[in-house]
Amino acid sequence: MTFESLGLSDKILEAVTKKGYTTPSPIQEKAIPVILERKDVLASAQTGTGKTAGFTLPLLQILNQGQTLRNRPVRALILTPTRELAAQVYENVREYSQFTDLKSTVIFGGVNAGPQIKDLKRGVDILVATPGRLLDLINQKVMTLDKVEIMVLDEADRMLDMGFSRDINRIIQLLPTRRQNLLFSATFSKEIKKLANGLLNHPVTVEATPENTTAEKVFQRAFRVDQKQKPYLTIQLIEEGDWSQVLIFTRTKHKANKLSEQLEKKGITSAAIHGNKSQAARTKALDGFKKGKIRVLVATDIAARGLDIPLLPHVINFELPNVPEDYVHRIGRTGRAGAKGEAISLVSVDEIEYQQGIEKLLGQKLRTEVMKGFEPTETEPTKSESKSKSKGGFRHSSHGGSNGAKQGGGNSSNSSKKPFRRRRTSNY
């Protein structure tokens, strides 16, 4: 299969060739022809499968073949959950449209809206946006969505996890009734299916990989270790392995900051990214990581969702996520584009239940070891203690995400009283 055989135009193919791509990924192979037929699509695809090009390439071709409207109102809207993902999607749109006359821009919160407003007033065909900033500018009467022909929801599952459901519904009400809808999600949860039923019109379902599968080329293993020993084991793994690029996940912002500081004290260049960091700081950290100026990037799940880091060799789960599906998203950052990768999880005694939940989701046991010099001393809970903890332990993904009940010092034992809901904040 080639990109030429998918029905793409010469101008789009020229941009694809310039990017160095020759063979479409499975999601591209399945989604592009259907989108070109102007059908609604419900697609399941993990980050790193080429899904962005899967909707961007046909979207650009459809718009380029259409008639340019006076004053260039927004004709295609791409909604993303985070600033980082919005910036990356926009970069793809810009690169793939470089041989067309189409204009695009990106808007998100956390930065001055002035330049974004200027771009919109000059007119754009394609708008990449986060829901909050989009609604802000619509309320300011800077723009309208009454000419949108194609609407894309990217990483729709994460948008729902972050509490954007109401914003999404408000935005949909502002769109023309006749339009093409494309919904991309890592999983097909009940919430996603409910959203799809109200949004999509006789959609074609596209699945690149079975739901919740992990990258085959990712070597996964776990180390049992006491919580207090985790920073020292992390440092040893990085130094002895002479790793030059490592992405580390924590459950909380506080832990991300603290670990980054501990690594810096040991001479390992590091930066933390999370919702409390400014957009400028997050962009600088990610850029430094990609260019090799920063050796370790410590991130919370939401801040890292959608990060495009080519050929990332190592991922460390410093803390296991309390939502099993988030483990799949985390380790999917490595082993991409056919390259091999390694995912290591550091598991303390209070996280054994989390590991068991992940293994149940994966349908396989994680290879578990004990590193010499880091033998755990904490004892495992008894069955009665484990049952008591489980009442407030694992959260199903529909009730929130990976920052978990412990974030901000909360007590997970209270969770049985009230379902956990993630609140959307401007930090993200």
User: How far is it, in rounded angstroms, from Cα 293 to Cα 373?
Assistant: 31
Q: What is the pLDDT of residue 286?
A: 86
Residue type, 213: T
Could you read off the pLDDT of 71-105 as tens digits, one per residue? 889 999 999 998 888 988 999 999 999 999 999 99
Domains, the chain, with CATH or none: 4-207 (3.40.50.300), 218-403 (3.40.50.300)
What proportions of the chain, in percent to the nearest 5, are helix, strand and coil?
Answer: 40, 15, 45
Asked if residue 300 lies in contact with residue 403, where contact means CB atoms within 8 angstroms, the answer is: yes
User: How far is it, in rounded angstroms, from Cα 48 to Cα 126?
Assistant: 23
- Token pair recorded at residue 99: 């041989």
User: What are the CA-CA distances from residue 64 to residues 8, 68, 425 (Å)?
Assistant: 11, 8, 36
Q: Taking the model in full, what pTM does it have?
A: 0.62
Question: String of b and e for 43-80 (b: at least 16 CB within 10 Å)?
Answer: bbbbbbbbbbbbbbbbbbbbbbeeeeeeebbbbbbbbb
**Sign of the dihedral through C-alpha 314, 320, 321, 326:** positive
Name the phi and psi angles at 400, rounded to 5: 135, -170
Q: Residue 241's closest CA among 215, 271, 272, 268?
A: 268
Looking from the CA of 245 toward its CB, the CA atoms found within 13 Å total 17
Spans of the chain, pLDDT less than 70: 46-48, 68, 209-217, 302-308, 310-311, 335-339, 380-428
Beta-carbon count within 10 A of 383 CB: 8
Q: What is the pLDDT of residue 337?
A: 52
Q: What is the pLDDT of residue 403?
A: 35
Beta bridge mates, 41: 182, 204
Q: What is the pLDDT of residue 308?
A: 65
Residue type, 124: V
DSSP string for residues in 35-97: HHTT--EEEE--TTSSHHHHHHHHHHHHHHHSPPPTT----EEEE-SSHHHHHHHHHHHHHHT
Beta bridge mates, 184: 43
User: How far is it, in rounded angstroms, from Cα 45 to Cα 308?
Assistant: 14
Q: What is the pLDDT of residue 101?
A: 93
